[in-house]
């Protein structure tokens, strides 16, 4: 466990933006090395998610409210999970893939941890590139 101060940032993604790739673009433009998503509200016109235990993604088109977005990211990678509700209030959630397209807005508040670096390294126990946390080099 490593301590870090935090700096919070609020911003909005516009209609037509891709949630994951545009969030990564913001991280790259600011050279963020360790960020946690604090909150996000908005809507999607399409989602592409990977559900638990599945290797392939699922795509749906429609009107979906963003109920929750959580995750970690850096300028190099993002690990995001989202909860969505459709026009009937039915919920779906999963691992965010490219292809989650903003319908009206995505209002985000994130916390940068400037003393840390988030990296991803293969973990033989899970088969995925998992989070590693280290001190940020000055």
Domain assignment present for residue 127? The answer is yes
pLDDT band for position 9 (cuts 50, 70, 90): very high
pTM of the full structure: 0.94
What is the total count of domains within the chain?
1
Domain assignment present for residue 85? The answer is yes
* pLDDT tens readout for residues 19-57: 999 999 999 999 999 999 999 999 999 999 999 999 999
Domain assignment present for residue 109? The answer is yes
pLDDT at residue 137, as a whole number: 87
Cα-based distances in Å from 30 to 35, 38, 54: 11, 17, 33
* Domain of 44, in residue numbers: 7-135
Q: Where are the alpha helices (H) located in the chain, listed in sequence order? A: 19-30
Domain assignment present for residue 1? The answer is no
pLDDT at residue 14, as a whole number: 98
Check which CATH number belongs to the domain holding 103 and give it. Answer: 3.30.1330.80
Domain assignment present for residue 69? The answer is yes
pLDDT band for position 138 (cuts 50, 70, 90): confident
Domain assignment present for residue 2? The answer is no
């Amino acid at each position: 466990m490593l301590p870090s101060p935090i700096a919070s940032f609020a911003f909005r993604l516009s209609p037509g933006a891709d949630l994951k790739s545009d969030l990564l673009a913001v991280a790259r433009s600011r050279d963020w090395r360790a960020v946690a998503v604090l909150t996000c509200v908005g809507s999607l016109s399409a989602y592409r998610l990977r559900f638990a235990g599945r290797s392939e993604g699922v795509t749906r088109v429609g009107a979906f409210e963003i109920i929750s977005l959580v995750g970690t990211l850096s300028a190099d990678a993002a690990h995001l999970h989202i909860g969505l509700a459709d026009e009937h209030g039915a919920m779906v959630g999963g691992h965010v893939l490219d292809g989650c397209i903003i319908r009206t807005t995505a209002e985000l508040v994130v916390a940068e941890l400037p003393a840390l670096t988030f990296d991803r390294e293969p973990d033989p126990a899970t088969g995925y590139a998992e989070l590693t946390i280290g001190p940020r080099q000055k």
